[in-house]
Amino acid sequence: MPKKLHIPVEPARPRHRVVGRLGIVDWREDCSSCHNCVKRGCVYGFYVDEAERLRNENGYLDYVYQCKGCLTCIQNCTKALLTRVENPEYRRLGDGHYTPDIILTTWYQAETGKIPVSGSGYGGAFSGPGFDAMWTDMSEIVRPTRDGIHGREYISTGIDIGRKVKHLVFQNGRLAQEPPPLVETPLPVMFDVLPAHQQRGAVLRAVIQAANDLGMLAAVRQRDLVPGLWSNQVVPLLDACAPMTSDIQRAPMVLVRESAEYRRVANELRQKNKSQVTAVRVEATAGLTERVRRWVREGAEAIELVFDAHGMERVSSQPRHMRDVLREVHGALIKDGARDQTTLIASGGIALAEHVTKALLCGADMVAVDLPLLVALECRLCGLCAQGGRCPVALEEADLAYATQRIKNLMAAWHSQLIEMMGAMGIREARRLRGESGRAMFFEDLERNTFGRLFGKRGRQNGASA
């Protein structure tokens, strides 16, 4: 049994004032100075913290960031002096996929390494696009032994990357064939290639350092791997016509872009290092399923499926979410009897810990993340850096140790959520999550099997649902 993964967590306070969701308006001029003021009863102690910080001039307490929205103080104030409001700056964070709530949740996890908790609960829609139209089966949550986060049960989150043999052949009591190379990782998550315009300051070094500390893998463009960045956890993304250096030959895994030269490059690398895994990086464009099947037949050990930043296909009309694409690719490989012949890595649009579990249930072996790592470093995804503008949080000024710890804290929170979900589903090994769609519920299936009998098939009229 492999050693249980433990990610050390240390508080990493934000460098800049955080843009939060809620604020408390306090009309103090009508205060009766009650001896039993509701501020003293704040279950999170925020009002006490405010007084202490103001007295010691030690930082600040931002109600807009800290308030959990439990409304206890607002409801119990005898003079009705307190009012909850929403921060207008908060609404401008992120975009339609990386919503303000996701960004704020990521900031909290990167600061504390803890699972986020909201006192006001979930007030959103019942269903939404992509992974929001998918729920996991929590039928085992009532069993107290399914509690891996507290150590009562061993839950493995590690996976293997590479091809698996269909069957074993023995000769004179020994294996008659050499098994293909495998790369082990403690989480079904790897760090993906970061956008070039966001590799500022110590950002790239922090990602690689966090991967080293956690035993995870970090994909980096070959041209970005300057001296001092190489490590055993770096997965180089080869540049076209670039020389095969000794560092590349020693890497545990190598990424090669989809091209007619892939087989030649893979064979050349295999001759240099038989224990190295070579993965092909495939854009999620038209005909993806057939291309994946072809790469598997040609011996691709691992395949990274690259979706856009929102997890959608890169097609001009009616793009599908990775949820549906992964299910199609996974099913096609099963029909070919070749699912264990490759490792599928889903990249793009993975924004939350729950997306990791859901992507695996849809058929991926692991996921690759990029933008969540930047958000962990206080990035607001404003897009100014892509336009050559000045970063509002000065990402290039982030200290290496600080940035590394924020990324490690985020992975610690994701790891806790992953084993919580696995425990609730009664699954004790991340490898068993792959394609286990029977442990998931899909909105379309529920709607068809319930309301579909009454109202018929959902249709579209003038671009809107009918």
Q: What is the pLDDT along the chain (466 residues), one digit of tens a residue?
A: 567 788 989 999 988 878 878 777 777 777 888 877 888 778 877 777 666 655 555 555 555 556 777 888 888 888 888 888 888 888 888 888 999 989 999 999 999 999 887 656 666 677 888 999 999 988 776 655 555 666 667 889 999 999 988 777 888 888 877 888 999 999 999 999 998 888 888 999 999 999 999 999 999 999 998 888 888 899 999 986 667 788 888 899 999 999 888 888 888 888 888 899 999 999 999 999 999 999 999 889 999 999 999 999 999 889 999 999 999 999 999 999 999 999 999 999 999 999 999 999 999 999 999 999 999 999 999 888 888 888 888 889 999 999 999 999 999 999 999 998 998 888 889 999 999 988 899 998 888 888 877 877 765 443 333 3
> What span, in angstroms and rounded, lies between the C-alpha atoms of 405 and 428?
28
Rounded CA-CA distance 304/294 in Å is: 14
Which of 293, 31, 343 shows the shortest CA–CA distance to 184? 343
Residue 429 bridge partners (DSSP): 156
Handedness of CA 196, 200, 205, 210 (dihedral sign): negative
Residues linked to residue 23 through DSSP beta bridges, in sequence order? 85
169: which 2 tokens? 């052949």
Local structure of residue 434 (DSSP, 8 states): T
* Residue 310 near residue 332 (C-beta atoms within 8 A): no
CA–CA gap between residue 199 and residue 191 (Å, rounded): 13
Measured CA to CA in angstroms, residue 441 lies from 330, 346, 347, 445 at distances of 17, 20, 22, 7
Strand partners, 368: 190, 347
DSSP letter at 310?
A: T
What tokens does 218 get?
């970090």
Residue 347, helix vs strand vs coil: strand
Q: With b meaning 16 or more CB within 10 Å and e meaning fewer, what string describes 91-114?
A: eebbeebbbbbbbbbbbbbbbbbe
Question: For residue 123, what pLDDT is reported?
Answer: 66
Say what the pLDDT of residue 302 is: 95
The residues, any chain, with a CB within 8 Å of residue 105's CB and separated by 6 or more, are: 116, 352
Please provide residue 358's backbone torsions phi and psi, each rounded to the nearest 5 degrees: -70, -35
User: Which tokens go with 376?
Assistant: 């962990």
449 Cβ contact list (under 8 Å, min separation 6)? none
Both tokens of residue 350?
């993975």
Nearest to 433 by CA among 383, 362, 371, 385: 362
Write down the domain spans for the chain. 149-447
Per the structure block, which two tokens stand in for 177? 């064939």
Q: How far is CA 123 from the centre of its chain?
A: 22
Query: How far is residue 247 from each of residues 50, 146, 234, 253, 264, measured CA to CA in Å?
Result: 52, 43, 10, 11, 19
Looking at residue 339, the DSSP 8-state letter turns out to be G
Quote the tokens at residue 225: 């791997």
Q: Which two tokens stand for residue 188?
A: 């079904």
- Whole-number pLDDT of residue 432: 93
Q: What is the pTM of this model?
A: 0.88
Token reading at 453:
């009998």
CA distance 83 to 286: 52
Q: Is 307 left (phi over 0), alpha (psi -120 to 50) or beta?
A: beta
As beta bridge partners, residue 191 has 218, 369
- C-alpha 184/C-alpha 207 separation (Å) is 19
Q: Give residue 144's pLDDT.
A: 53
Q: Which fold has domain 149-447?
A: TIM Barrel (3.20.20)
pLDDT of residue 464: 39
CB 104 within 8 A of CB 389: no
